[in-house]
Amino acid sequence: MNRHNSSHRPKKHSSRGGGNRRRRNFRPKTGEKKLPKDEYLRNKHLILFEAYLAARAKLFDVSYKADPNQRRKLENNLANSLKQLRDFEAKIHSSEEDKKLFYSQLQEKRLREDLTYSSLNGIEPVGRAEAEQETPQDPHFLISQSESNFSRDTEESIGNIEDYNKYKSL
């Protein structure tokens, strides 16, 4: 049997694709529903933010051992993901309606106190943090500084760098 039959012609490739290829139907499915705009905005922002965090983590995980080309690629990936996130946020801020929807969703989803147990059992919540009105103390201010008395200090602190160098004989 001759494998190369002269009467057999090679197939011509058409511009519409091969004959046995699976045809894709891009019509929307009937069961799928579009998300409401506020959920769409929140989900899109979350996806972009997670992509940014993943790119950042990937860069910092391998930055010390990556070759320059790989590091440049990771830096570009991080920059692109941050740009996409910032562009989306700018798009939200450009429309007043989108801005209200997005921030109302954020306010609703913030962590709130979990008072379920105390409300079901009639217990008054204990240990609520209330802001103090007094100004906080400087954590770097030492006790020895507050106890020191500089009223007897007569040394003047005037001069310039040349005087200091002359004093130190530098």
Cα–Cα distance measured from residue 92 to residue 104, given in angstroms and rounded to the nearest whole number:
13
pLDDT for 133:
73
pLDDT for 156:
72
Kindly give, in sequence order, each residue whose CB lies less than 8 Å from that of residue 113, ignoring residues fewer than 6 positions away. Answer: 125
Residue 63's CB is within 10 A of a number of other CB atoms, namely 12
pLDDT for 103:
79
- Give me the tens of pLDDT residue by residue for the chain, a chain 170 residues long: 555 555 566 555 555 555 566 666 666 666 667 878 878 888 898 899 999 999 999 999 988 888 999 999 999 999 999 999 999 989 988 888 888 888 777 666 665 667 788 888 888 777 666 767 777 778 888 888 878 877 777 777 777 888 888 888 87
For residue 33, give Cα distances in angstroms to 10, 45, 68, 97. Answer: 47, 20, 46, 22
Spell out the domain ranges in the chain.
37-108
3-state SS assignment for residue 72: helix
Q: Are 48 and 19 in contact (CB under 8 A)?
A: no
